[in-house]
């Protein structure tokens, strides 16, 4: 799960696996597989870093489960 901040200051947590694309025009817009779009304060780079960290955590958990 990835926390992002909407323009009104509220934090929303999204499922990183559901992100279809991220655009910057000039606000950062996250498009989800459901068709929903979120405009957030974070930059595209910040969202990408959070998504990468999220994926690494998932990969680590899967590897640990396989080794158990």
Q: Is residue 22 domain-resident? A: yes
- Residue 7's domain comprises 1-39
For the stretch 21-30, contacts whose Cβ atoms lie closer than 8 Å and that sit 24 or more positions apart, written own/partner, are 22/47, 22/48, 30/4
pLDDT at position 55 is 85
Q: Is residue 49 domain-resident? A: no
Q: Give the Cα separation of 9 and 7 in Å (integer).
A: 5
pLDDT at position 18 is 94
Give the residue among 8, 67, 20 at the shortest CA–CA distance from 47.
Answer: 20
**pTM for this model (two decimals):** 0.82
Q: Is residue 17 domain-resident? A: yes
Q: Give the Cα separation of 67 and 34 in Å (integer).
A: 34
pLDDT band at 56 (very low <50, low <70, confident <90, very high): confident
pLDDT, one tens digit per residue, over 6-42 is 999 999 999 988 999 999 999 999 999 999 999 999 9
The yes-or-no verdict on residue 61 having pLDDT over 80 is no
């Amino acid at each position: 799960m990835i926390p992002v901040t909407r323009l009104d200051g509220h934090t929303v947590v999204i499922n990183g696996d559901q992100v279809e694309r991220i655009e910057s025009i000039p606000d950062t817009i996250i498009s989800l597989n459901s068709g929903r779009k979120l405009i957030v304060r974070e930059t595209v780079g910040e969202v990408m870093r959070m998504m990468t960290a999220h994926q690494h955590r998932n990969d680590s958990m899967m590897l640990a489960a396989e080794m158990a």
